[in-house]
Structure 1
Amino acid sequence: MTSTSSPPAEMTVLSPHDGTPVGTLPCAGEEEVRGAIATARAAAPDWARTSPEERGRLVRAAADALAQHAEEVAALNTRETGKLAHEALGGVLAGVGTLHQYAELGPVHRGHALRGGALASDYTVAEPRGVVAAITPWNDPVAVAAGLLGAALVTGNTVVHKPSERCPHTGARLGEILAAALPDGVLVTVTGGPETGRLLTDQADLDVLAHVGSTETGRAIARAALDTGAHVIRENGGNDPLVVDDDVDPAWAAEQAAIGAFTNAGQICTSVERIYVHRAVAEPFLHALAAEARQRNREAALAPLVDRRMRDAVHGHVRAALQDGATALEGGEVPEGAGSFYPATVLRDCTDAMQVMTEETFGPVAPVRVVDSFAEGLHLASRDRYGLAATVLTGRIAHAQRAIAELPAGTVKVNNVFGGAPGGAAQPRRDSGAGFGYGPELLDEMTQVKVVHVEMPSSR
């Protein structure tokens, strides 16, 4: 991939609440990007030789430092992205927990003994890959970054981190706090927009490109790695379905759908993006879902979308669906006033020809299609180019097992849209990415395996 334009000198972030400036930061150009990589490369040998226990101790200290500044970082996140204050703080604390988790897992990450000759030793050794470029998103900037940074650091890699241009102040402050607890050069942060990102991923002196964000950007990163040979880890967009069976309580199902579609104003990679509901419970389900949306709108319980560009994209999907025959039971109109707020929206009579069903809308929109059977809903849910996550609501174990077997997604959830145990990891499918992005398996992604064979020398 070849960069087509140089970064601007600086970027200004506007508040999604009222459009006022949050602040201005510089955009790293080619000299700054190359310098950041050179700094991380120079620090890599000593960091790789540092004992796993010591690396774990230092990452734990970085996590503790972040915990001390949690409210400050959360406030920055709220100002830049509009995330509700308690959710922003929750994201920072989740990041602290993730760093602590990797600080514990890193020292016990090990190779495997192999079965060889009786007088020989055969085993594998996990070695750091080198320098990791981590490109992270704005929708949960601390929690997501903590996963990639923590796993890379405890396995002996050094990191150049580029946070999203939609929350550069949050990312820069996160980098300052963590880097202060680590040896010089082990973690370097660069800020900038897409041009800076392209400059970073184009560089040949990188060993890993780790990305969480849009499918379009993920594809560009994967193409760049074809030239540079970097290992790619990417979690990209999703168009996650929810299938509602005919034997569940429609009010409970609507509550689950609302949580999945409206939490963080729908700006979560695993948000519910399309709903297939059995005709037998469709009407009470739609009535209850519209009531859930109406309550959120009436109580102003939604955060704004990250900016007006995102709101324009979300409303574009909704407007096109309404023009093609969908009906808005709640929401669907751009509110007056400053900022980038968008109402919780419920659409009925949707079809799979509509963009709101085929693409990731990434806003507080719940498009619904009525189906005549669970099998039909499962079939339609499976027919998509994404494969991040999927949820089914059913009281039948046979239907749950069939969904688990047939849904082509990295994560399948039954009867809880955001359920899951700590430390879980999944491999996204199709256009949603590749590689493990979380959990203990991310330590494997950040290392490369060396096979060792040792024998006694010949006595002849």
Structure 2
Amino acid sequence: MSAGAFVRTGDEIVIADPRDGSIVGGVPAADADEVRAAVARAREAFPAWRATPAAARGQALRRAAHALAARASEVADLEQRENGRLRSDVEGGIGAAVDTLLQYSEYGPLHRGRSLRGGAEALDLTRAEPRGVVAVVTPWNDPVAVAIGLIGAAIATGNTVVHKPSERCPHLGLLIGEILAAELPEGVLCTVSGRAQTGEALVSCPDVDMVAHVGSTAAGERIARAVALTGAHLIRENGGNDALVVDAGVDPVWAAGQAALGSFANSGQICTSVERIFVHRDIADDFVAALVAEAESRNAANALAPLVDERMRAEVDAQVTGSIAQGARALVGGAISDGPGCHYPATVLVGCTPTMPVFQQETFGPVAPVMVVDDFDEAVRLAAHDEHGLAASVLTADIGHANRAIDALPVGTVKVNAVFGGAPGGSAQPRGRSGSGFGYGPELLDEMTVVKVVHLSPAVTR
């Protein structure tokens, strides 16, 4: 079988390891009846779980966190076989998932309403109540951390969950579901495996009260159309086409290191990867030379994980070759690697323009496309001109330029002088085609609940 392929064999999804093509195994795809049955189990479990004290729900999440930590090596082995990520990245994601469960085990009991100013003899307040059954639909590129963040927040606030993991890592989705569900009452967490049809059956189910989705823009927009008919609450974090603006006056070698990190981390398979680079002409030559050296170093050391499957590699290659056909030049990489697996080299493209595929589309691979600009304002203007709105990065020594970019870029997160990182507890709302709603952090608990206003007045007695 082709490396990294997921193929349709009747009602079974068969997964091959993207590193070498060896078979991982097959997982049955749930049909519409099985999806409805899972939602019914979650619905049946909801009243009791809602009534469970928040502190007890937190204790259950702590047990689940410790159970996941105890089986971290097993989970990591399986994730590597299904999506090919580097061991360090896999272990980092699992560690983040454990920490997130522990955080929500504490946040959940502290999530509360507000007192309101009313009459002297009345009591006015708000209370946050769980929404009900939450459908969680998650991706393959950081599958443990993303799934458990959404599941943990939903369960902490008294909801029940039906989780549909990506068809590219179905074994992993079942395993983490098994680990967590063992620490929870029956029906609080159910897992269904399948392809798009399974996900469509889940998000279209009228008994689902909320949908939380992380994944592609195309999938998110299909989900939004389905949810518009059911009335379920929807949050989604979808694709990005994140820009990096490199100002004059910064160290070009340092800036190239930031660009390489943003473009090549996880082989470019991150929704907040650097996708479009705008560099000031004053430092462009030194910046590009250093960026090429960064790419060549990674390629020589075989430091990149493979792409998740051959379909993804073909999409990345088509965007690169299409851009080259329009005049871009590949200074390093730019062609499919020889040998087994779904590898694609770190690639640096220069001579790029905003109309090329690598600038127009999200490129889910290790590609750093560079456009040279004459001034900072031009860079910000071009960076802002995109239908996505997930994140953007700015490298500048000028605080005025930084503040101008922060104000002008229509994205959920702006990172100044670091392409990754940030304090814990941050939570952003994506813009445009990148989605809507808070998908992580303390504010995710607000998304998972609905506010009720209460007014208590004294009764008139005889």
Q: Bin the TM-score by the shorter chain.
A: over 0.9
Percent of aligned pairs with the same residue?
Answer: 61
User: What's the offset of the Cα at 1:458?
Assistant: 2.1
Structural mapping, 1:289-438, within 5 Å: 289-438=291-440
CA–CA distance in structure 2, aligned partners of residues 199 and 14 of structure 1: 26
Matched-pair contact (CA < 8 Å) for 1:56–1:102: yes
Equivalent residue in structure 2 for 1:53, among 51, 55, 63: 55
Residues 1:233 and 2:232 aligned together: no
Tell me, in whole angstroms, the C-alpha distance in 2 between the residues paired with 1:51 and 1:221: 32
Alignment partner, residue 5 of structure 2: none
**Structure 1 position 298, deviation (Å):** 0.3
The whole-number CA distance in structure 1 between the counterparts of 2:425 and 2:314 is 36
Kindly report which structure 2 residues correspond to 1:203-242, keeping only aligned pairs within 5 A, or say none.
203-242=205-244
**Correspondence for 2:77:** 75
Counterpart residue type for residue 343 of structure 1: P
List per-residue Cα deviations over 1:144-193 (Å, max 9, x = no partner).
01110010000000000000000111111000000001111100001111
Q: For 1:444, which of 419, 443, 446 is the aligned residue? A: 446
- Please give the alpha-carbon distance, in whole angstroms, between the structure 2 residues aligned to 1:25 and 1:7: 10
Report how far residue 20 of structure 1 moved.
1.7
| d(CA) in 2 for partners of 1:424, 1:138 | 23
**What residue number does 1:174 align with?**
176
Structure 1 residue 358 displacement after superposition: 1.2
Distance 2:208 2:179 in 1: 24
Instruction: Name the SS of the counterpart of 2:440 in structure 1.
Output: coil
Query: How does the TM-score come out when normalised to structure 1?
Result: 0.98
Matched-pair contact (CA < 8 Å) for 1:124–1:451: yes
Alignment RMSD (CA, Å): 1.0
Q: 4+ residue runs of structure 1 moved beyond 4 angstroms?
A: none
CA contact under 8 A between 1:7 and 1:193: conserved in structure 2? no
Q: What is the distance in 2 between the residues matched to 1:297 and 1:419? A: 25
Higher mean Cα deviation, 286-295 or 13-22? 13-22
Q: Alignment length, in residue pairs?
A: 455
Instruction: Check the 8 A contact 1:47/1:158 in 2, yes or no.
Output: yes
- CA distance in 2 between counterparts of 1:353 and 1:31 reads 45
Distance 2:402 2:119 in 1: 47
Query: Distance between the aligned counterparts of 1:20 and 1:195, measured in 2?
Result: 26
- Deviations 1:66-119 (CA, angstroms, capped at 9, x unpaired): 000011101111110000011111111110001111111000000011111111
Match for residue 68 of structure 2 among 62, 66, 69: 66
Partner Cα separation in structure 1 for residue 330 and residue 89 of structure 2? 28
| Alignment-derived partner of residue 455 in structure 1 | 457
Question: d(CA) in 2 for partners of 1:389 and 1:203?
Answer: 32
Q: Distance in 2 between matches of 1:375 and 1:162?
A: 43
For residues 266 and 166 of structure 1, the distance between their equivalents in structure 2, rounded to whole angstroms, comes to: 17
**What residue in structure 2 maps to residue 198 of structure 1?**
200
Contact (CA 8 Å) 1:13, 1:23: kept in 2 or not? Answer: yes
Counterpart of 1:162 in structure 2 is: 164
Secondary structure, in 3 states, of the residue corresponding to 1:450? strand
Cα deviation per residue 1:304-351 (whole Å; 9 max; x = unaligned)? Answer: 000000000000000001111001011001111221000000000000
Kept after mapping to 2: 8 A contact 1:44/1:131: yes
Q: Give distance in 2, aligned partners of 1:388 and 1:406.
A: 14
Aligned with 1:132: secondary structure?
A: strand
Instruction: Name the SS of the counterpart of 1:392 in structure 2.
Output: strand
Q: Which runs of 5+ in 1 are unaligned?
A: 1-5
How far apart are 1:7 and its partner, in Å? Answer: 10
Where 2:453 maps in the other structure, the secondary structure is: strand
Q: Work out the CA distance in 1 between the residues paired with 2:202 and 2:156.
A: 22
TM-score (norm 2): 0.98
CA drift of 1:198 comes to 1.0
Q: Which amino acid aligns with 2:87?
A: A
Structure 2 Cα separation of the partners of residues 292 and 336 of structure 1: 21
Tell me whether 1:9 sits opposite 2:16 in the alignment: no
Following the alignment from structure 1 to structure 2, what is the Cα–Cα distance between the partners of residues 7 and 450?
A: 48
Check conservation: 1:66, 1:178, Cα contact below 8 A: yes
Gaps of 5+ in 2: 1-7
Provide closer, same or farther for how the CA distance between residues 179 and 65 of structure 1 changes in structure 2, counting only shifts above 3 A: same
Q: Where does 1:91-110 land on structure 2 (aligned, <5 Å)?
A: 91-110=93-112
